[in-house]
Amino acid sequence: MLICTNNCYNVSGIYDEVKNMNENFEKMHNGELYLPNDRELAKLQMKCLDRLYDFNRTRPTEMAKRQELLKEMFAEIGEGCYIEPPFHANFGGRHVHFGNHVYANFNLTAVDDTHIYVGDHTMIGPNVTLASAGHPVWPELREKEYQFNMPIHIGKNCWLGAGTVVVPGVSIGDNTVIGAGSIVTKDIPANVVAVGNPCRVMREIGERDKEYYYKDRKIGDAK
């Protein structure tokens, strides 16, 4: 375990206090419009961001320290997860749930104003954004800084290519591959390859994928 110094914060205690006392906290997680500039929420957020700052400052050789920080930062994180710094998150991962053996490359951005779920063995390419937060289209509400949040669900054994953006409320099924640069605005089913802006299903994952890993290159002994 990490030894707490003056820079180590009891984020969980503050989180529980806000959760029990703050109406805006409830609205954060039920999809209602709310004002995110709430003082207590801001206090919680700053504590979470301090832990995120500590994580991003770690050296590549400090793997054990990174793992302990992730356990403090995330809502849930399974065994064998690896996140390549820098990692960016509105609440420092406080509302992010990773299964086992999830890999995230450089510059994962988790707009985790509400919950983001990622299943076991999912791979996330560089510069991916998982955005749970949105704003009303009506200009007067945006001017007042209203916001709403919808959870994101990504299944097991998915692959999100570099530069993918997933918007609020989207679900992606197990084993699905999302092509690089895709903007995922609607749910994508399991066992498909999907790509584009907006992201659309191109094909199902099939028998040929058992034999070829790239164009005409055969898998051979790898399986």
pLDDT in tens, 66-90: 999 999 999 999 999 999 999 999 9
In this predicted structure, the answer to whether residue 59 has a pLDDT above a threshold of 70 is yes
Q: What is the pLDDT of residue 220?
A: 85
Q: What is the pLDDT of residue 7?
A: 35
Beta bridge partners of 103: 82, 123
SS3 state of residue 109: strand
Which residue among the candidates 29, 88, 101, 135 is catalytic per the annotation?
135
CB 111 within 8 A of CB 90: yes
Q: Which of 20-34, 93-107, 149-163 has the lowest mean pLDDT?
A: 20-34
Q: What is the pLDDT of residue 1?
A: 25
Q: For the stretch 155-182, what's the b/e string if a residue is b when 16 or more beta carbons lie within 10 angstroms of its beta carbon? A: bbbbbbbbbbbbbbbbbbbbbbbbbebb
CATH superfamily of 11-216: Hexapeptide repeat proteins (2.160.10.10)
Q: What is the pLDDT of residue 14?
A: 46
Q: What is the pLDDT of residue 39?
A: 86
pTM for the model stands at 0.90
Task: Please choose, from the candidates 29, 46, 4, 49, the residue with its C-alpha nearest in 3D space to the C-alpha of residue 168.
Answer: 29
- Separation of alpha carbons 208 and 106, rounded Å: 31
- Catalytic residue at 97? no
Distance of CA 219 to the CA centre of its chain: 31
Q: What is the pLDDT of residue 19?
A: 57
- Separation of alpha carbons 145 and 193, rounded Å: 37
pLDDT in tens, 158-210: 999 999 999 999 999 999 999 999 999 999 999 999 999 999 999 999 999 99
Q: What is the pLDDT of residue 15?
A: 56
In this predicted structure, the answer to whether residue 3 has a pLDDT above a threshold of 50 is no
Q: What is the pLDDT of residue 12?
A: 53
Query: Which value, in Å, is the radius of gyration of the alpha carbons in the chain?
Result: 19
In this predicted structure, the answer to whether residue 105 has a pLDDT above a threshold of 60 is yes
Beta bridge partners of 77: 98
Q: Which helix (H) or strand (E) holds 92?
A: none
Helices marked H in 57-179 — which ranges? 63-73, 139-143
